[in-house]
Amino acid sequence: MRILKSSFAVVERRAEHAVKFFYSHLFWHNPGVRELFPASFQDMERQRDRLFAALTHVVAHLESETLAPYLRDLGRDHRKFLVGPEHYSAVGASLLAALAETSGEAWTPDVEKAWTEAYQVIADAMTAGAADGTEPPWWDAEVVRHLQYGRDIGVLTLRPHAPLPYVPGQYVSVSSDRVPTTWRTYSLGNAPRPDTTVDLHVSRIEGGRLSTALVRDVQLGEMLRLGAPGGQLALRRADRPVTFIAAGTGWAPVRAMLEDLAEHPPDHDVRLFVVARDSAHLYDRPLIDEYAAALGWLGVTYITPAPGQHRNQATDRLTTALGNRGLWREQDVYLSGPPQFVEETAYLLEELGALPERLFYDALPASGSARTRPLGSGEWFLNRPDPHWHNPSGRAPREY
């Protein structure tokens, strides 16, 4: 583990070169693979970002129990690309070539051996995940309702042609013929229904071709493809108080879990914090208010900037609200929202006393710069980091 992490620290300093070398090597030696990837330059740039973000995530979680489920889900989900065993071999050869090229003199026989073995573990886990899947590589789903909130948020109701097996809190990857070979992941915004329909909550990302198409362009009757459900956010039925913290359209999986709780009421209190960069982005507030009035065990706190104030003020208000909540060691906490929001909030909650094993979220990699380590308690409160999660143009694998 130590060899891999120290080796990757060298590669990180030349990340852009490493990723470009990887794809050049892969497409040169395996020209037939190119058609599996997006055609546009912009989408390939994002693909490169996601590749390195995923690799960073794997290295950072080498000793975490969350890594194996993550890799299995990744392998199962990659069936939608029609990925076969031969592709894993090709990717492995190009990855090792890119790491060697980028590492220079730091690429020793011991380092090469460690990476070769690590990649084999990754490939085996993903292959096993793909083999375990008995469902189809994707589900065709018809758009039967399309609600738009402003110019940048849409809620699509889809009717899959075959029932989609999932549990509240999970997400699916989505593709449209409007943006061929491009897939993005979105959380399912409802508990399973008798009519098998599902809701997707989509926030348009600046420059995001698929999110823009889904929010602004997709028409009723249009067909989308849904990949296999994944994620580890599903509700744990423990006899403890529960806190949900949702930012933006990260509300979708929380809504699904709350629907499930409403059908099977808990014996403990549930607190919901809904965070938005302005009040206009509280697009589902009527339903949330209805829940708060009807469910005696649910308390709701909205977190937005004060009128006329910068949206970053929501970060300060959330910090204050969570600090006043207290008793975090006794609670299960579910986080959902942009990856950096989840990361920063998880750090804060641990500083406030929450137990890491009771913080539940999908540990998906986020692109772009990020802190290399959690700040200590004093550092965090005295020199709080910039709230990157407010930036709607930040590129990330999940377009909330």
Contact 229, 166 (CB under 8 A): yes
pLDDT at 371: 37
SS3 call for 45 = helix
140-153 pLDDT, tens digit per residue, is 999 999 999 988 99
Contact 385, 371 (CB under 8 A): yes
Task: Tell me: pLDDT of 387 over 50.
Answer: no
d(CA 42, CA 9): 27
- Dihedral angle of Cα 135, 141, 144, 145, to the nearest 10 degrees: 90
| 74 pLDDT tier (thresholds 50, 70, 90) | confident
What is the pLDDT averaged over residues 54-69? 85
Q: What percent of the chain has pLDDT over 90?
A: 55
What is the pLDDT averaged over residues 1-27? 90
How far from the centroid of its chain's Cα atoms is residue 394's Cα? Answer: 13
Closest CA to 398 of 220, 174, 180: 174
Strand 332-336 to strand 359-360: parallel, antiparallel, or no bridges (unpaired)?
parallel
| 364 pLDDT tier (thresholds 50, 70, 90) | low
Contacts 24+ apart (CB under 8 A), 103-111: 103/7, 103/10, 103/11, 104/10, 106/7, 106/10, 107/7, 110/3, 111/3, 111/7
Contact 327, 240 (CB under 8 A): no
Contacts 24+ apart (CB under 8 A), 28-34: 29/90, 29/93, 29/94, 30/90, 30/94, 33/87, 33/90
What is the pLDDT averaged over residues 380-394? 37
pLDDT at 250: 94
Q: Which residues make up the CATH 3.40.50.80 domain(s) of the chain?
A: 242-390
What's the CATH number for 242-390? 3.40.50.80
Strand 171-176 to strand 183-187: parallel, antiparallel, or no bridges (unpaired)?
antiparallel
The DSSP 8-state label assigned to residue 237 in this structure reads -
What's the CATH number for 139-226? 2.40.30.10
- Name the token pair of 391: 């930036």
16-28 pLDDT, tens digit per residue, is 899 889 999 999 9
Task: Tell me: pLDDT of 390 over 50.
Answer: no
d(CA 192, CA 11): 44
Instruction: Give alpha helix (H) positions in the chain.
Output: 2-12, 15-29, 41-60, 67-77, 85-103, 109-132, 209-212, 251-263, 285-294, 313-325, 339-351, 377-382
pLDDT at 1: 78
pLDDT at 366: 43
- Name the token pair of 148: 């738009």
Q: Which residues make up the CATH 2.40.30.10 domain(s) of the chain?
A: 139-226
177-205 pLDDT, tens digit per residue, is 999 888 889 999 999 999 999 999 999 98
d(CA 80, CA 71): 15
pLDDT at 237: 81
Which of the following CATH numbers is that of domain 2-132: 3.40.50.1100, 3.40.50.300, 1.10.490.10, 2.60.40.10?
A: 1.10.490.10
d(CA 108, CA 12): 17
- Name the token pair of 386: 């910039």
| 42 pLDDT tier (thresholds 50, 70, 90) | low
Q: Which residues make up the CATH 1.10.490.10 domain(s) of the chain?
A: 2-132
